[in-house]
């Protein structure tokens, strides 16, 4: 009976510690106002809460981040698309970052409390200023994510007297299955990287619907 009690207590303690140490990650998409190249976000985290801010950007662009907080144990990390390896770690690199981005995709700015402060269930208010310069700035309407986004896109910026080819697969070497013009509205079925370009799968047409892939640079909300 004593052994059973010890085992039971140990199990309950383990469950409690697991819950206390669990990291709650919330994702938020960053969108700049039309005509701007930056924004400032604010929020509050407590304990093991983590906020990931997702921002689409391209190779060679310069990203600048400034982080202000009421708690010195709060920091941010910056991770490139598809990686958990940070290119900036706030706890050692400081609460500011400026650098040239190495690849296209969704960059992840992770706001968190250091483990000792999280364990004490401390709270931190913060302000996060983000800007992008060089090349085409991240556009709030641009098809800049590899997942999510609006339900529908609008075709834009196709040269005059030309059409946008819809292809059977990502890449200009694949067969053309349809054509679209500026202003056409298409359903968003998700985007993916093909080489250095972002391609999006769409559904178009009315009575006779068809699906295919187009270059994401020609899609807007």
Q: Over the stretch 36-71, which tens digit does the pLDDT of each residue have?
A: 788 999 999 999 999 999 988 888 888 999 999 999
Cα angle at 129 between 132 and 52, to 5 degrees?
90
Tell me the whole-structure pTM to 2 decimals.
0.55
Could you tell me the pLDDT band of residue 35, with boundaries at 50, 70 and 90? Answer: low
As a whole number of angstroms, the distance between CA 214 and CA 201 comes to 7
Q: Indicate the fold that domain 152-220 takes in CATH.
A: SH3 type barrels. (2.30.30)
Q: Where in the chain is the domain with CATH 2.30.30.40?
A: 152-220
Q: Where in the chain is the domain with CATH 2.60.120.380?
A: 22-133
Longest dimension (CA), the chain: 85
Which architecture characterizes domain 22-133 according to CATH? Sandwich (2.60)
CA nearest to 48, candidates 113, 116, 129:
113
Contacts of 10 (CB under 8 A, 6+ apart): none
- What pLDDT was estimated at residue 191? 82
pLDDT digits (tens, 9 = 90+) for 165-189: 999 988 888 899 899 999 999 988 8
Share of the chain above pLDDT 70, in %: 80
CB atoms within 10 A of CB 11: 10
Query: Which helix (H) or strand (E) is 129 found in, with range?
Result: strand 123-133
Task: State phi, psi for 164 to the nearest 5 degrees.
Answer: -95, 120
As a whole number of angstroms, the distance between CA 115 and CA 184 comes to 50
Contacts of 19 (CB under 8 A, 6+ apart): none
Could you tell me the pLDDT band of residue 151, with boundaries at 50, 70 and 90? Answer: confident
Instruction: Specify the residue for token string 């997702």.
Output: 54
Give the dihedral of Cα atoms 98, 128, 196, 216; nearest 10 deg.
-150
* Cβ pair 140, 51 in contact under 8 A: no
Strand arrangement, sheet containing 210-215: 176-180, 164-167, 210-215, 197-204, 185-194, 152-155, 219-220
Please state whether beta strands 164-167 and 123-133 pair in parallel, antiparallel, or not at all (unpaired): unpaired
As a whole number of angstroms, the distance between CA 131 and CA 64 comes to 5
């Amino acid at each position: 009976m004593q052994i059973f009690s010890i085992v039971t207590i140990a199990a309950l303690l383990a469950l409690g510690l697991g819950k206390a140490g669990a990291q709650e990650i919330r994702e938020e998409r960053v969108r700049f106002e039309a005509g701007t190249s930056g924004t400032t976000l604010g929020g509050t985290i407590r304990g093991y809460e983590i906020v990931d801010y997702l921002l689409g950007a391209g190779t060679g662009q310069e990203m600048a981040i400034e982080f202000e907080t009421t708690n010195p144990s709060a920091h941010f990390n910056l991770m490139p698309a598809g990686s958990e390896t940070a290119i900036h770690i706030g706890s050692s690199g400081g609460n500011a970052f400026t650098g040239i981005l190495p690849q296209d995709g969704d960059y992840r700015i992770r706001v968190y409390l250091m483990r000792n402060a999280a364990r004490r269930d401390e709270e931190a208010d913060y302000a996060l200023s983000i800007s992008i310069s060089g090349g085409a700035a991240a556009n709030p309407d641009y098809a800049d994510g590899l997942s999510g986004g609006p339900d529908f896109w609008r075709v834009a910026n196709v040269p005059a007297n030309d059409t946008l080819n819809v292809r059977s697969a990502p890449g200009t070497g694949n067969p053309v299955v349809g054509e679209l013009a500026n202003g056409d509205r298409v359903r968003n079925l998700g985007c993916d990287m093909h080489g250095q370009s972002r391609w999006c799968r769409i559904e178009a047409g009315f009575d006779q619907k068809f699906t295919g892939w187009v270059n994401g640079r020609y899609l807007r909300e």
